[in-house]
């Protein structure tokens, strides 16, 4: 307990000096030597006093001390609670900082109120810059609008939101990520904000792409395989039916391929198939499709082309193969292809029927000397 005289004329200055000396936890009681009225008492309290006494008798002093003890006890409990909350907050921050997954928290205004080190590293910004900022402060405007729209939709729907996106890491790498976000609610279901995590799924996406390509591509030539060709052809047929558009199909066969294998070996035969595939695809033009049907046979699809237009491209493909793939040590037709081409009308026939007509035209090209294009009836 400390006693200090205070002049009524400089009461505010005196109280401030005592606070500075004794600290905010001190319980300041102003004892008036005379009854100065309730207005003066209110003024003393407004200036920072905790209590005011006019009648200094034992009972009044006891009541004042009782009030002081209660205030001090409440203050200690509040400090203990703040210390406990601070400890829990520091513990939680240490926990999430040791996780490699970027984690963030936003309030209902869209302001970042928490994140871990991984999130700050992902953005390439210091933690103190992120906290108190919005997505518009840490991301380009167009990207920020997209993320804000996703947050708004989550607030409207509640619950959990999971979606994939392509983002640029702070190191400049373009990464595929999965956002997992949830609305944070209090016990009485009031909304606090959003908690979110960013899962880097770049490696998974690359693996998915490789698996898709493996399912769609021929392992030797890397051309589309038979299964993918029929899928694309059916899509083209549907497109043709809906718009009354033409489609043409071709079957392409490497001439005397058995002779190439027998004379030069299967390894050289594989090289010929790879070269033929590359040349056919390069010469087929935009929007047309080349696939390996099996063995030394290829399919070609020409969406939107009438027979005469497709024939011009198919013959260019044939001549390009001859130019690039001729093998001088064999007969004059080695390293060439024969082509059978048919108009495919999905309104009146199936794809198999069109391919059978193209196959008949192909055999005609073989009988007439190979290295040529024949059209189906």
Q: Are residues 166 and 226 in the same domain?
A: no
Tell whether 1 is covered by a domain.
no
For residue 90, the surrounding DSSP H or E stretch is helix 58-97
Q: Which residues of the chain have pLDDT under 70?
A: 1-9, 33-38, 55, 326-334
CATH number for the domain that contains residue 165: 3.30.450.20
At 332 the pLDDT is 44
Domain count of the fold of the chain: 3
Q: Write the pLDDT tens digit of every residue in 28-51.
A: 877 776 666 667 777 777 777 777
Q: Output phi, psi for 168, to 5 deg.
A: -100, 120
228 in the same domain as 359: yes
Shared domain for 146 and 244, answered yes or no, is no
Residues 286, 365, single domain; the answer is yes
For 86-130, how does the pLDDT look when each residue is reduced to its tens digit (9 = 90+)?
778 778 888 888 999 999 999 999 999 999 999 999 889 998 999
Residue 202 burial by Cβ neighbours in a 10 Å radius (0-12, 13-18, 19+): middle
> CB under 8 Å to 32, separation ≥6 — which residues?
40, 41, 52, 53, 54
Task: Tell me which long-range contacts 4-13 makes (C-beta under 8 A, separation of at least 24).
Answer: 6/30, 8/36, 8/40, 11/43, 11/44, 11/47, 12/47, 12/48
Among candidate residues 293, 271, 285, the one with its CA nearest the CA of residue 224: 293
Tell which of 79, 94, 109 closes a domain: 94
261 lies in a domain?
yes
Structure tokens at 143: 């990207």
Half-sphere exposure at residue 122, Cβ-oriented, CA atoms within 13 angstroms:
23
Full residue range of the structural domain in which residue 80 is found? 8-94
| Threshold 0.85, pTM exceeds | no
């Amino acid at each position: 307990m400390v006693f200090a005289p205070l002049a009524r004329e400089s009461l505010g200055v005196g109280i401030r000096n005592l606070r500075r000396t004794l600290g905010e936890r001190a319980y300041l009681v102003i004892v008036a030597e005379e009854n100065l009225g309730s207005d003066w008492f209110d003024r003393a309290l407004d200036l920072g006093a905790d209590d005011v006494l006019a009648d200094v008798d034992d009972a009044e002093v006891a009541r004042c001390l009782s009030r002081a003890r209660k205030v001090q006890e409440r203050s200690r409990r509040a400090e203990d609670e703040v210390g406990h909350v601070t400890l829990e907050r520091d513990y939680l921050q240490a926990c999430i900082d040791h996780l490699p997954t970027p984690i963030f928290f936003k309030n209902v205004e869209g302001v970042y109120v928490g994140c871990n080190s991984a999130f700050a590293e992902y953005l390439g910004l210091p933690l103190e810059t992120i906290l108190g900022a919005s997505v518009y402060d840490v991301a380009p405007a167009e990207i920020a609008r997209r993320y804000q729209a996703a947050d708004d939709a989550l607030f409207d729907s509640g619950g959990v939101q999971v979606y994939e996106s392509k983002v640029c890491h702070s190191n400049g790498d373009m990464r595929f990520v999965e956002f997992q976000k949830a609305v944070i609610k209090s016990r009485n279901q009031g909304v606090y904000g959003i908690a979110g995590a960013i899962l880097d799924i770049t490696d998974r996406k690359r693996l998915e792409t490789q698996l898709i390509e493996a399912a769609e591509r021929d392992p030797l030539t890397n051309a589309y395989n038979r299964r993918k060709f029929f899928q694309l052809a059916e899509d083209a047929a549907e497109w043709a039916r809906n718009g009354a558009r033409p489609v043409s199909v071709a079957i392409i066969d490497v001439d005397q391929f058995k002779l190439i294998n027998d004379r030069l070996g299967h390894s050289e035969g594989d090289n010929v198939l790879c070269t033929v595939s590359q040349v056919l695809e390069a010469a087929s033009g935009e929007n047309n499709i080349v696939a390996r049907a099996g063995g030394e046979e290829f399919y070609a699809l020409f969406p939107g082309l009438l027979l005469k237009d497709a024939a011009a491209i198919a013959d260019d493909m044939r001549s390009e193969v001859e130019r690039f793939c001729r093998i001088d040590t064999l007969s004059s037709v080695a390293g060439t292809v024969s082509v059978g081409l048919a108009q495919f009308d999905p309104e009146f026939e199936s794809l198999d029927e069109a391919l059978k007509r193209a196959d008949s035209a192909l055999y005609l090209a073989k009988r007439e000397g190979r290295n040529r294009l024949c059209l189906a009836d």
